Structure formats: structure tokens, C-alpha cells
Amino acid sequence: MTDTYTRLVRSGPGGMLAKQLGLPRPSRLLRRHDRPEPVLGPVVVLGTSAGADAIARRLLAEGADVRRRLEDLRTVGSVLVVADELAAPAELGPLVLPFAGAVRSLAPGARVVTVSRPATGEDPARDAARGGVEGFVRSLAHELRAGGTANGVLVADGVGLDAPGVVGALRFLLSARSAFVTGQFLTVSSPAGTETENLSLPLAGRTALVTGAARGIGAAIARTLAADGARLVVLDVPGAGTELSRLANELRAVPIQLDVTSPGAGERLVAALRDRGLTLDILVLNAGITRDKLFANMTPDRWDPVLAVNITSQIALSDALLEAGDVLGEHPRVVSLASTSGIAGNRGQTNYAASKAGVMAFVDALAARLAPAGGTANAVAPGFIETEMTAKIPPVTREIARRLNSLQQGGLPVDVAEAIAFLASDEAGGIQGETLRVCGQNMVGK
């Protein structure tokens, strides 16, 4: 999808004027491909540690075109900087500066990914170096062009770089599935999880429930999970029954009409799953609404429904499913929909931001509850995504919102869905309580 502004400023007189005025000139299209998603090559692995060697060997074994020297290439597809053994800030420059001259040689849609360790509060010099990697990545992400992205994987001390969560995160971030994710970090906190054997159908044999599935981002999530091989249960309010049935027929999914805010909704969901003999491996809590108003004009009829749908229903449904004991699989994956509004706030959205900030705290607490059974809970925080909801924003405000990120364009529902599919995978077992922003590195917030 290319919007009118992008078409005008990419060529001809409009392009010349945009260049003279310093206006945003976004890439025509971000690199989004069908499965399986290959690493954009050639991929250059920088670093001299044993971990760098292990990652290079792993990528080679998966068929990637791996190089260890930038000087040998005229065009670079991906750069992987392995900085897992940094001990002092002075060590960061020799590792990343050789890459500086190659930035202009990056192919359109290039991927830059770092692998490093998180600060622990134990060694000031080492922590400063580790923190420096994060600052480097977030700033580089603002500088890349033509749809290029920069992200990082933080691997907890004691977790090997060959852990399933590390391998899965690298596959995701080096592929086109992460098209609208940039300037972000994924933390792998444990070696839990199992590697995916079938990269074309990573969710084969899994059953997933998506709430708020009838349209928009929810429908995209359902379609993406189905494309990854999952069996789908799609849920939405009775008022969306026609669209829900249409989606269920398309995906051969099981439809459930249910208002998630109604009394006893969780118990009714459990009963519906039992009646159909279904056990859930993946729970995507996507249902959400907005009722925007400046706080000076906020009233209970705008505040209460937003909190009820966006966070209270998530708590109620997850509690009911956990307490039932027989409708969740052995290692359940829960992924909730948060928002960048919950991170940075947004004018006129005190109710929405409160609910989405609550979602992020909720998954952190739920992760601790699920971890003993090998389950996970994480969240995805979309930024400006092209949906029916954002299409209703006044034109000038909408155009500005589209450009306020490093990729200078809005994301698509499938971008959110791809992030959820990764967090729902077996490989993501070592990622717990995280909120992954899918926002093109929105200029507000972290």
C-alpha cells in the first residue's frame, strides 16, 4: 500500500520540491514477503567472540549468504553485530565503526541487528558499554533509509547465543516479517523454548484464539496465524457476527460470538471451548476500543467501556482459562495488544493510554504466573497502523501521524500480526513479560 503523499514526493516535481524543503520521502513499500522468510543477504556478521562465530555458523547452516568482512561487498543486505563480550565503552567503537562506511551500501529494506547483553547493575564499566549498544541502535534506526531497520537482541547473562529465543528473534528481525519494527530490543531472559523445525509452518499443530477478530488488526492476526499453520478460534461481539462468520469460513476457523465485557464471559468462553473439545495453545487478547476526549471533558460513559474492553476483559478471560485447568495447552503463549499511547501517552487518550499501560503491566505479572508451566505472556504495542479507525482521523492530523516515525509511513495490520505470530511461536519461550513496539520507531516514547 502506497499513500498519496508518498507517490507525490518520490518522483517528478513533487520529489524535487520535497528534497528542497527537506520533507519526508518514505520508501514506496516496505519489504514484506510470503513465507518462508529468508534473511536478506548477503549478511555480514561482525564480532570476534565465540558467540559471533556460532551465529555465523548457524546462519550458514540455514542457507544464508554469510560474510565476515564488509570490504568484500558492494551491496550489503544485512549486518549482524555481535557484542556479547563488551567490558568497557571504549570497546564499542572498534566493533561498530568499521560498519560506518558501509551504511550507504545497504540494500533497500536492509536489516541491522545487534546481539548484546543487558545491564545488570554489577559492573559500572560493563553496564555502560552494554547501555551504549542500545543508544547506538536507536540512533542508527533514525538514520537508515529505503525501509532499512535497526534492532537488537538482549541476551541475559548465562543464556547461550544458540538458545531458541535468540535464534527465533534473529530470524524474525532479519526477515521481512519485522518490516515495521525498528529501534527496538527483544530481551531473551532464559533458554526456554524449542526451535521451530518447519519454518514454513511454525505454528502447525497449535490452536489459537483471537479476540476482536472480525475486522482490522484482529482479522490480520487470524489470517497470519492461519498462514503459519495454526488452527483458529475467532471471537468477537454478536454485532460483528456476519463479518466473523465470513472470516471463519475463509480460514476454516471456529467462530464464537461473545461480548468479552459481559458478566461471566470467561466462564462462557471456557464452556464453549469444552463443548467443541478445544484446547488452546495460543491466546491473543486483541479486542479493544477507543472513546477519545480531552480529560477536561472525560465522562464515565467514555472512560468505563475503554477500561472494560481493553484491560479488564483480558484479566477476566485469562483468569477463567487458567482456573479451568483443561482448556489451555501445556506451554501456552499469551500475547496482548498494548499501544504506544500506553508508553508515551497521547492527547485526548487518557482513558485509552491508561488501559494500554495496564496491559503492559498485566503481561509482566501474567508471565510470572505462566513461567513455571513453560508458558509466556508478552504484548505488542502498535503505533500508527492503517486501519478503519485511523482512516477517521482528520486528514492533516492523520498525515502528520503517519510521518512521525523513522520509516516515515504508517504500518499495516499484518505488521502487528507478524510480531504476534513470532511471540506465539515455540522459539519465543525465553521471552517473558516484554512489550514489543511495532511503530516504525515512533518519535514519541522510548
pLDDT tens column, 320-373: 999 998 999 999 999 999 999 999 998 899 999 999 999 999 999 999 999 998
If asked whether residues 159 and 212 sit together in one domain, one would say no
Per-residue pLDDT band for 30 (boundaries 50, 70, 90) equals confident
Higher pLDDT, 196 or 376: 376
- Domain assignment present for residue 13? The answer is no
| Count of structural domains within the chain | 2
If asked whether residues 165 and 213 sit together in one domain, one would say no
352 labelled catalytic: yes
Is residue 401 packed enough to be buried (19+ CB in 10 Å), middle (13-18) or exposed (0-12)?
Answer: middle
Domain span including residue 67: 30-188
CA angle 224, 228, 234 (to 5 degrees): 50
| Average pLDDT value over all residues in the chain | 90
Higher pLDDT, 99 or 397: 99
If asked whether residues 222 and 177 sit together in one domain, one would say no
If asked whether residues 179 and 211 sit together in one domain, one would say no
Cell 510480531 belongs to residue: 419
Average pLDDT over residues 418-431: 96
User: Which of 180, 185, 303, 352 is labelled catalytic?
Assistant: 352
- Domain assignment present for residue 7? The answer is no
d(CA 64, CA 113): 15
d(CA 71, CA 80): 15
pLDDT attached to residue 435: 97
The yes-or-no verdict on residue 17 having pLDDT over 60 is no
- Domain assignment present for residue 1? The answer is no
pLDDT attached to residue 6: 63
Given 125, 156, 188, the domain boundary residue is 188
Is the dihedral angle over the CA atoms 27, 16, 141, 83 positive or is it negative?
positive
Per-residue pLDDT band for 445 (boundaries 50, 70, 90) equals very low
- Starting at the edge strand found earlier in the chain, the sheet holding 185-188 runs 66-67, 43-46, 76-83, 106-116, 149-155, 185-188
Average pLDDT over residues 216-235: 97
Q: What percent of the chain has pLDDT over 70?
A: 91
Q: What DSSP element (H or E) covers 257? A: strand 254-257
d(CA 207, CA 217): 19
User: For the whole model, what pTM was predicted?
Assistant: 0.91
pLDDT attached to residue 446: 40
AA letter at 131: G
d(CA 334, CA 202): 16
CATH of the domain at 156: 3.40.50.720
- Domain assignment present for residue 193? The answer is no
If asked whether residues 254 and 288 sit together in one domain, one would say yes
